[in-house]
Amino acid sequence: MKTEKMQTLNRIQVALGERSYPVYHGTDIMGHLGHLLKEANIGRQIAIISVPPVSVHYLNTIVTGLDDQWETLHHDVPDGEMSKSLPVADELYAWLIQNRFERGSTILALGGGVVGDLAGFVAATYLRGVNLVHLPTSLLAQVDSSIGGKVGINHRMGKNLIGSFYQPRFVLTDIAALRTLPADEFICGLGEVVKYAIIRNEGLYEELNGNLADLQADNTERLERIVKICTEIKAGIVSRDEYESGERAVLNFGHTFGHALETYFNYQGFKHGQAVLLGMCCAIDLSLRLGMIRESLAGDLLGFIRQVTFDLPATFHDADPEKLVELMRIDKKVKDGKINVILVESLGKVKRETITDTTFLKESFQSILKEDRG
């Protein structure tokens, strides 16, 4: 590939010393993969892990774009959150062993957040670690989950309870992949975009407020700008706090509530990004109950989030707030038996709070359980 073609790639660096890596982003850039693999100087074997709805669109493009230097393997896992499990991980280990996959080789995660988390977990643990490359095809993965090294699988008792921090060699984010993204997956990505707008970027909030629901996957120029903004925010925070010992915790805004909802409903009926949207509503409600923000700001932020509509499980309104709070107690961010959540102080500013009175948590869950999001 000619050097001048590389000018179409934009690059954002995640600065982590010897674990630093670039996030390349742009439109119609999948063809650069072979050059980037060579530049990274990694082994000849490439194991592509994906899901059928993604591989049908992009696998042939990727494989045919690689020259004879690469030996490619491909394995699809079932689409959906349930694939983030020990049985599916074990299936992938067996596949890699049977194909004599070597330590210096590379796992390529082709897909959304589920594929990235699962493939990343396998890459981190197979042969004590092989190379990992992310090629995210969902908005959620492009703006959030492919960046920062969080990899993991779910346990029946809670989401993402088994995992590690394992940084990729690079991330290749092609905005063109969003053109084939289903509407519900696009909504999931909007959940993470909303998060960044509230916790860090007032300009993004102002741009999207009032027309968030009109943001479409075919608006390439606008999406490319938004993905860039979110990537810069995430890369900056991760560079300063790789292992979530301080600042990085703000990225969990809405997630502790959302993970409890996902676990309660056994990952059925709505997706991760939708659960996070609901979780952010809970966090805003709790911020108001604790006197951290004015009612007017709470109303504005809730109105911003509620621009994104989606269907809820039929049994959603009957969920038990008491059980939801109990599920929060087994979240990764619990410390000394106490629940920690990220709450709002003002637009663009959030903080971690330790909650000792669970009555407020139950009331915040109740505030969303009576909503109609459709």
- The catalytic residues are 128, 150, 192, 234, 244, 248, 252, 255, 259, 272
- Residue 310 φ/ψ, nearest 5 degrees: -165, 160
Instruction: Identify whether the C-beta of residue 10 lies closer than 8 Å to the C-beta of residue 67.
Output: no
Helix ranges restricted to H, the chain: 33-40, 52-64, 86-98, 113-125, 139-140, 183-199, 202-208, 220-240, 255-264, 272-289, 295-305, 321-328, 358-369
Compute the 3-state secondary structure of the chain and give helix, strand, coil in percent, each to the nearest 5.
50, 20, 30
136/142 Cα distance (integer angstroms): 5
What letter represents residue 176's amino acid? A
Question: Across-strand partners of 241?
Answer: none
Residue of 236, 220, 238, 235 whose CA lies nearest to 29: 220
What letter represents residue 253's amino acid? F
CA 286 to chain centre: 24
CA 93 to chain centre: 23
Token digits for 261?
């909802």
195/201 Cα distance (integer angstroms): 9
Residues 6 or more apart in contact with residue 265 via CB below 8 angstroms: 313, 315, 316, 319
CA 141 to chain centre: 5
298/12 Cα distance (integer angstroms): 33
Token digits for 341?
């959540």
Instruction: List Cα–Cα distances, 27 to 55, 56, 117, in angstroms.
Output: 18, 19, 24
